[in-house]
Every structure is written in C-alpha cells, then in structure tokens.
C-alpha cells in the first residue's frame, strides 16, 4: 500500500482527498474479468448439457442451485480469507496475511465430511419434490461428483485466490481462473461425449479444471517472491482455523440464504413444467454475465474496505465503500439491459433446435428475461453493500436479514404465486397458478427489498463497531 495515500485515494486540485475511481476500476477490472470467466464456466457447462437434451438441461436446473448453495455455505471459510488478508495487509502485517490463507486451506479440508453428508441428501430431496423420474436420475448423476469432489476443491482455490485479492494481486486470481475456464472446454467435450459419461461428464470436466487451477494457485502462493515478502512457506503453523468458521460460515450463510431461495424458486418451476425449468435455467445463466462481473467490482470493495479498516481509517472505508456500491449497481443494471436487447439472438443458441420443446423454451425465456434484467439492477445494490460489509467483517446480522426475507417471505409467497391449485408441494397454502411469469415478478419485488435492507445496514455504520 502507498505510504501516503489511502486505498483508492487521490488528492484533487483543491488539495482535498477524493475517491480515485480509476484506482477502483484498476483493482476491479481483473476481478470483473475473473468473475466473467466464472460466468463463462457456467455457460460452458449449460451449453454442453443443452446439446444432450432439454431433459438434461432441466435436470441441471433441478439440482444446480442446491449444489451451489451447499458449496457457498461451506465455502464461507474460504471467502473469509480475503477479509482477514485485506485487514492484515492494511495494518502492514504481511505474515499474518499469508497465515490467513493457510487457515482457509485447513478449514476447507475440514469441510470434506460435511460435503459427503450433504451429498447423501440429494436423492431424498428430489424424491420429496416429486421431480420427474428421468430428471431425477440425471440430476443425481451430476450431483455427486460436482458436490462431493468439486466442492472441497473449489474451496481450496477460493482460499488462495482470496489471499491474492486481499493483497491487491488480483491478476494472479485472473490467471488461475482463466486456466480453469480454458481447460474446462476440452474436458467437458472429452468427459460428456468422447467418454460417453453424459451429464455427469460435465461435473467431472469441472473437477479436472479445478485440480489444475489449484496446482497453479499453490505454485504462485509458494513462489520465491511470495515466500520472501509474506513468509507463505512458514505460516502454515498455528493457523487460526476456528476463526475461519466463526466469521466465514455467516458469510457463506448470507449468500446461501439468497441462493437457497433461488434454488427453491427454480425447483418450483421445474416441477411446474420442463419448459419453465429449462427457460429459467437459460435466463439465469445469461444474466450471470451481469451478476458475475458485478461481483468482481464488489470484491474490490471487500479489499478496499478491509485494507482501510486495517490501516485504522473507518471514515475512508465508508467513502470508498459508497463508491463501490454505486459502481456495482450501475454496471449490473446496464448489462441487464444489454442482455434484454440481445435476447432474440442469444436465446435460440442455448437449445437444441430439433428438441420438441425448443420453441416453447425460447418463447418463455424471451418473456422473463426483461424481468431478470430488472432483477440484476437491484441485485447490484445488494451485492455491492453486502461485500463492503464483508470487508468490515460484518457477517452475522446480514446473514439473518437475508434468511428472514428469503425463507420467511419470498419462498412461501413464490409457492403461492407459481403453483396452480392442486399442484403445489404444500396443499395447505393457497395457489394462484401464475407460473414462471408471476414468480419472476415476485422475485423482482424480493430483490428490491433485499438491496434496500443491505444499503440501510451499510449506511447505518453498525459495521464500525466490529473488531476481528
């Protein structure tokens, strides 16, 4: 960090300090590219699975968000690395920064039994939701390798890239993710079609890419320059693993509570019809083009807020956080509009033209994609504020806020709105039968409320009292 200037600070012609938006974008650009590559990874898997059949895409939709929720919930132990590293770096404690990375690695390995336990829940979960038998079979084939093997591998990678992000070496994160994205394409082709593994091959292709990404990240972390500057080869001893779980699990829960709502919402649509499930899966993967890079901007906020707090300047943390929230919201809203305008060209490329449901899937997706675009704009407010709070270590209250709004309001109301009478999971609830369109309208209302809640939490300044 510059000895005289605070993170993302410039001195204007008037001699006063100002937020340097160019510095924010310089830090955020590789993170945006990194997150965009993550979106490409998701789209790659969806595209390859879509070449199998609409039923295979529907099966992926049925289980995708549940898998992601499990990975993100447990993955909080890896996400917390960036917060601890940024604050240690801001305080000038470099060995403590690499120690946080080792804590994330050890904590990630300790989650393996938990991933196995969650893996055992997949079959009874789908059975309880009365998913079509073929969709059930294909979903489980994808579920096991992607969750039980791919999950812990992903956490190990997150721990190391969180270290790179926290010290501002975001280009290293980009290199690791780029390798995984590039190698994921031939691995998908090999596993799905050449080896005839079907939808399970998509999961195994991702696992192979994660293994290579982890090897590269470890090599960079233990490189001579890192060992000299951060003592990264020595700080594996006496790592504060318990702290990773204490702070990391609430961080994971905050995201998981939101994703779990999305998972249940998508499962509702899968239950309603193959067309509704497939159309929603395609739209969500397309709008991840806005979500994932937007998350890159927000991740820059985690680093800048954390470094400012580590340096003891919470007033500057507030100013730079406000700037990041504004940039995240504006970017995601703009990209959502662009996706909507391009939908006529994009949507047909994610279905098999010979599939009997192809035209219906495209027609429904074309109607809901504008609702999804609106969702992105307010989700930018949610993500920007929540990631700045993460930089301050404010995790427990935000997690509770999301859980109440998502599980207490959005999910029950979505059940009422989506299902027609006699078709829902819970017979005691009323059913309006508005299907995918009604569900998406409700979802926009949910994200407006969620984004507003997180913005209020940030502006309240409650995070100033937190000490890690």
Residue 2 clears pLDDT 70, i.e. is over it:
no
Domain edges within the chain: 18-465
Kindly report which listed range (230-239, 350-359, 453-462) carries the lowest average pLDDT score.
350-359
For residue 19, the cross-strand partners are 9
Count of residues making up the chain: 468
Per-residue pLDDT averaged across 75-81, rounded?
93
**Secondary structure of the chain in HEC code, one letter for each residue:** CCCCCCCCEEECCCCCEEECHHHHHHHHHHHHHHHHHHHHHHHHHHHHHHCCCHHHHHHHHHHHHHHHHHHHHHHHHHHHHHHHHHHHHHCCCHHHHHHHHHHHHHHHHHCHHHHHHHHCCHHHHHHHCCCCHHHHHHHHHHHHHHHHHHHHHHHHHHHHHHHHHHCCCHHHHHHHHHHHHHHHHHHHHHHHHHCCCCHHHHHHHHHHHHHHHHHHHHHHHCCHHHHHHHCCCCCCCCCCHHHHHHHHHHHHHHHHHHHHHHHHHHHHHHHHCHHHHHHHHHHHHHHHHHHHHHHHHHHHHHHHHHHHHHCCCHHHHHHHHHHHHHHHHHHHHHHHHHHHHCHHHHHHHHCCCCCCCHHHHHHHHHHHHHHHHHHHHHHHHHHHHHHHHHHCCCCHHHHHHHHHHHHHHHHHHHHHHHCCCCCCCCCCCCCCCCHHHHHHHHHHHHHHHHHHHHHHHHHHCHHHHCCC
pLDDT over 90, % of the chain: 46
pLDDT tens per residue, range 127-181: 776 777 888 888 888 888 999 999 999 999 999 999 999 999 999 999 999 999 9
Mean pLDDT of the chain: 87
Question: Which has the minimum average pLDDT: 135-149, 169-183, 192-206, 336-350?
Answer: 336-350
Q: How far apart are CA 207 and CA 4, in angstroms?
A: 44
- Residue 40 pLDDT greater than 70, yes or no: yes
């Amino acid at each position: 960090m510059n000895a005289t200037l605070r993170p993302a600070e410039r001195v204007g012609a008037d001699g006063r300090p100002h937020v340097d938006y160019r510095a924010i974008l310089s830090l955020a650009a590789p993170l945006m590219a990194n997150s965009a590559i993550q979106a490409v990874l998701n789209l790659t898997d969806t595209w390859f699975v879509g070449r199998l059949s609409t039923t295979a895409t529907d099966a992926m939709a049925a289980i995708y968000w549940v898998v992601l929720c499990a990975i993100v919930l447990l993955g909080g132990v890896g996400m917390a690395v960036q917060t601890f590293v940024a604050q240690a770096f801001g305080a000038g404690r470099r060995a403590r920064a690499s120690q946080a990375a080792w804590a994330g690695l050890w904590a990630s390995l300790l989650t393996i039994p938990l991933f196995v336990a969650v893996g055992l829940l997949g079959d009874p979960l789908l059975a309880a939701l009365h998913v079509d038998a073929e969709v059930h079979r294909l979903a489980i084939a994808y579920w096991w390798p992607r969750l039980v093997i791919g999950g812990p591998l992903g956490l190990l990678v997150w721990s190391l890239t969180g270290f790179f992000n926290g010290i501002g070496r975001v280009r290293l994160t980009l290199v690791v993710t780029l390798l995984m994205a590039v190698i994921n394409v031939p691995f998908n082709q090999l596993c799905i079609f050449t080896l005839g593994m079907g939808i399970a091959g998509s999961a195994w292709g991702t696992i192979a890419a994660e293994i290579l990404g982890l090897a590269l990240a470890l090599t960079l972390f233990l490189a001579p320059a890192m060992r000299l500057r951060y003592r990264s080869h020595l700080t594996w001893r006496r790592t504060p693993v318990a702290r990773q779980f204490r702070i990391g699990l609430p961080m994971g829960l905050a995201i998981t509570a939101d994703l779990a709502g999305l998972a249940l919402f998508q499962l509702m649509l899968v239950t309603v019809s193959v067309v509704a499930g497939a159309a929603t899966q395609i739209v969500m993967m397309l709008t991840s083009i806005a979500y994932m890079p937007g998350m890159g901007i927000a991740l820059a906020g985690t680093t800048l807020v954390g470094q400012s707090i580590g340096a003891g300047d919470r007033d500057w943390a507030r100013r730079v956080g406000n700037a990041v929230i504004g940039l995240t919201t504006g970017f995601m809203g703009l990209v959502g509009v662009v996706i909507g305008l391009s939908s006529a060209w994009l949507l047909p490329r994610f279905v098999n033209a010979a599939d009997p449901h192809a035209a219906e899937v495209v027609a429904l997706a074309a109607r809901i994609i504008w609702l999804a675009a609106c969702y992105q704009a307010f989700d930018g407010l949610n993500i920007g504020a929540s990631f700045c709070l993460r930089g301050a270590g404010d995790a427990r209250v935000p997690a509770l806020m999301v859980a109440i709004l998502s599980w207490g309001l959005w999910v029950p109301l979505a059940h009422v709105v989506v299902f027609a009478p006699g078709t829902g999971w819970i017979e005691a609830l009323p059913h309006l039968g508005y299907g995918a369109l009604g569900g998406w309208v409700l979802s926009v209302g949910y994200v407006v409320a969620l984004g507003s809640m997180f913005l209020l939490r940030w502006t309240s300044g409650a995070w100033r009292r937190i000490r890690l």
